């Protein structure tokens, strides 16, 4: 399937979770077998082309795509988790969202020093989540040069914020 065909499987829900937000809902895409498989093909090709040695995913929707991409490539998957979920000592970072604030945590012992970790998430809006993830991974010793997304919302400036931090964005589709 082409990116345009996959894009047609994303559902748009106005005013969720707050008035004025156009929510780009990937549940309709992942419920569609050929659409999900094609999405993973595109993401896995992009991760392979960028020399990924491990994949990191951002809780929760980034786990869906990130873990499956890692499995397709025979790579390990590193979860960047919401607070209070990991049973060991963690490093953490607080960050701003399009509609609120949040925190991510990482077990730094999951990272080999200098390992080329590619970040995967369903969507980039302001880039706050992906930047927080890249920051945590770098603090743990990873090399983080690339982040992959199913959906980019370019008007929210996430790609530019990532680039300013030395992380190149790749996205399967954009909603202007
Ligand atoms: C959503 C989405 C990204 C993030 C993008 O996650 O899955 O991770 O927001 O926004 P940003 O670029 O402005 O940071 P959310 O925090 O809603 O959590 P979820 O995956 O648990 O639904
Ligand atoms: N995460 C942040 N902004 C979003 C949006 N507009 N749709 C879906 N997920 C999001």
3-state secondary structure of 32: coil
For the question of an ipTM over 0.95, the answer is yes
The secondary structure of the chain in percent helix, strand, coil, rounded to multiples of 5, reads: 35, 30, 30
Q: How many CB atoms lie within 10 A of CB 95?
A: 17
Which ligand sits nearest to residue 150's alpha carbon?
Answer: 1
Beta pairing partners, 152: 124, 174
Q: Which fold has domain 52-174?
A: Rossmann fold (3.40.50)
Cβ burial of 155 (10 Å; 0-12, 13-18, 19+) is exposed
**In a mutational test of the pocket of ligand 1, which residue from 125, 156, 171 has the highest number of ligand atoms less than 8 Å from its CB?**
125
Question: Which of 67, 97, 160 gets mutated to test ligand 1 (max ligand atoms within 8 A of its CB)?
Answer: 97
Q: What is the per-residue pLDDT across 36-94, written as a single tens digit (0 to 9) for each? A: 999 999 999 999 999 999 999 999 999 999 999 999 999 999 999 999 999 999 999 99
**Interval 94-113: pLDDT, tens:** 998 766 789 999 999 999 99
């Amino acid at each position: 399937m082409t990116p345009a065909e996959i894009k047609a499987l994303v559902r748009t829900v106005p005013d969720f979770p707050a008035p004025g937000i156009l929510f780009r809902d990937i549940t309709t895409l992942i419920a569609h077998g050929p659409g999900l498989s094609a999405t993973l093909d595109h993401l896995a090709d992009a991760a392979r082309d960028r020399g990924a040695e491990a994949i990191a995913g951002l809780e929760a929707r980034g786990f869906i795509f990130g873990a499956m991409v890692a499995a397709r490539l025979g790579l390990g998957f590193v979860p960047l988790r919401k607070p209070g979920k990991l049973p060991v000592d963690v490093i953490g970072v607080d960050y701003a969202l399009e509609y609120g604030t949040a925190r991510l945590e990482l077990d730094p012992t999951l990272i080999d020093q200098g390992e080329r970790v590619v970040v995967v998430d369903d969507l980039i809006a302001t880039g706050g989540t992906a930047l927080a993830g890249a920051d945590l991974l770098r603090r743990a010793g990873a090399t983080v040069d690339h982040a992959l997304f199913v959906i980019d919302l370019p008007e929210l400036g996430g790609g530019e914020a990532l680039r300013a931090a030395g992380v190149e964005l790749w996205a399967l589709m954009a909603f202007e």
